[in-house]
Amino acid sequence: MGAIFRITADPSTNMVRQYLAGFFEAVDVERFVAARNAAHERLTCGPNEHVTLVDVRDMKIQPQEIVQAFGAVLAGPRYRSRKLAFVFSQSLARMQLMRASQGRDARMFTDIKEAEAWLLAEDDAEGSIAA
């Protein structure tokens, strides 16, 4: 399965929702970044005040260079979210997510409703990655 992604921005909650599935190549990461940047234009909050939900339950295990490419995307300060939640299904995918999100204040969930609740809740003092 080739790369599939959808990105939406909800100005009422200042939440960016990303769905990624399949197997990505470098050109797909570039297309993803362009779509992500366009989605951010629809937000009404200030820079870095939004929250992001990333659903990767249908994403295939990626080659190391793609994990690194997504890591670079996540490390960029311009579109950094205030809170970042990943929803995943496979343990190996979790390891790749941890590598890609290294240095980010992120949480990982297996249930999308739990991820949404955490993102929309008042900020907590704890910022570690949780399973």
CA-CA-CA-CA torsion sign (22, 61, 86, 41): negative
Domains of the chain, by residue range, sit at: 4-120
Question: What is the pLDDT at residue 107?
Answer: 87
Give the up-direction half-sphere exposure of residue 21: CA atoms within 13 A in the CB hemisphere.
Answer: 8
pLDDT greater than 90 at residue 117: yes
Asked which of 7-11, 30-34, 36-40, 123-127 is least confident by mean pLDDT, the reply is 123-127
pLDDT band for position 100 (cuts 50, 70, 90):
confident
Per-residue confidence (pLDDT) for residue 128, from 0 to 100: 41
Identify the pLDDT of residue 92.
59
**CATH class of segment(s) 4-120:** alpha beta
Percent of the chain beyond pLDDT 90? 74
Q: Mean of the per-residue pLDDT values for the chain?
A: 89
